Amino acid sequence: MKTPKRIEPLIEDGLVDEVLRPLMSGKEAAVYVVRCGKELRCAKVYKEANKRSFRQAAEYQEGRKVRNSRDARAMAKGSKFGRKETEDAWQNAEVAALFRLASAGVRVPKPFDFLEGVLLMEMICDEYGDAAPRLNDVTLEPDQAREYHAFLIQQIVLMLCTGLVHGDLSEFNVLLTPTGPVIIDLPQAVDAAGNNHAFSMLERDVGNMASYFGRFAPELKQTRYAREMWSYFEAGTLSPATVLTGVFADPDEIADVGSVLREIEAARLDEDRRQAGRAADDAPPGKTEEPPPPWMQ
């Protein structure tokens, strides 16, 4: 096919020999199948910031490392230079996450290069060498669902051990190969320790996995892996070998019982006071409140 303009620099640099076909054009990027020597790879072309959607939201950017303090100041001020740096940091975040995760043993596409807003990576294939389907495109047996779910929980733990939360994990961002699931689409990956929203994003990622695989093995919907792994992470004891159960007794809930009881007691006292006030208002002038009956004194 005719080379898309954005991929031309990669051809000029000899990174890509030929663009074969478009694979998918999503909300964030267009993905092409390209030939590099004898290998097929994927080229992910990021859309311009103004064509991209919600995921640049501040909640994803928090805690993200910027190259130097001048860049950080410019980004904070939102100057023209700053906007460009925000844009670069955003596009590089996926590349950085892929390198980091691949070397930690997480199953993600192997990144090869990043040039002028185009990421060149391993093409994840099905048994025929075509692009692998997304989880959303397949139907699973209950046992397969349990196995893949357990594997992905383990992958989420590995990611957390390297300090990252995917932030947009769902059945649309996991590809299924003959040797198991592969996680893709990480430009919004967040810093687990530096971002205040990391836990809620982790909970959403883990919840998406439970509800997707729960379609085939309903008991998975009851699991609570996010809180369990986060409690180890916060205590600094999470490791790839940590054994998780999916069951989590929330200590907050026990504490909450106490606070609910206190609130009930406070409301009861308020009501008593109100009743007493009303009794005083109703009393004829000059006469104060009735003394309590002897059995209450």
Ligand X SMILES: Nc1ncnc2c1ncn2[C@@H]1O[C@H](COP(=O)(O)OP(=O)(O)O)[C@@H](O)[C@H]1O
Interacting residue ranges for ligand X, rule: CB under 6 A: 23-24, 26-29, 31, 42, 44, 109, 121-124, 131-132, 134, 172-173, 175, 184-185
Chain centroid offset of residue 59 CA? 11
Asked whether the beta carbons of 207 and 201 are under 8 A apart, the reply is no
Contacts 24+ apart (CB under 8 A), 238-241: 238/157, 238/160, 238/161, 239/161, 240/105, 240/154, 240/157, 240/158, 240/161
Picking from 77, 81, 96, 56, the residue whose alpha carbon sits closest to that of residue 186 is 96
- Shortest distance in whole angstroms from residue 230 CB to ligand X: 25
| Residue nearest Mg ion by beta-carbon distance | 185
Site for Mg ion contains 85 (CB under 5 A) = no
Is the CB of 206 or the CB of 217 nearer to Mg ion? 206
> Which of 91, 170, 173, 188 contacts Mg ion by CB under 5 A?
173
Q: Which CB sits closer to ligand X, 23 or 150?
A: 23
Give the residue with the Cβ less far from ligand X, 25 or 222.
25
As measured in angstroms, the least distance from the Cβ of 105 to Mg ion is 22
Q: How many amino acids of this chain bind Mg ion (CB under 5 A)?
A: 2
185 binds Mg ion (CB under 5 A): yes
Taking the least distance from each CB to ligand X, the nearer of 177 and 242 is 177
The catalytic residues are 168, 185
d(CA 172, CA 280): 67
- Find, among 53, 34, 35, 56, the residue nearest to 43 by Cα: 34
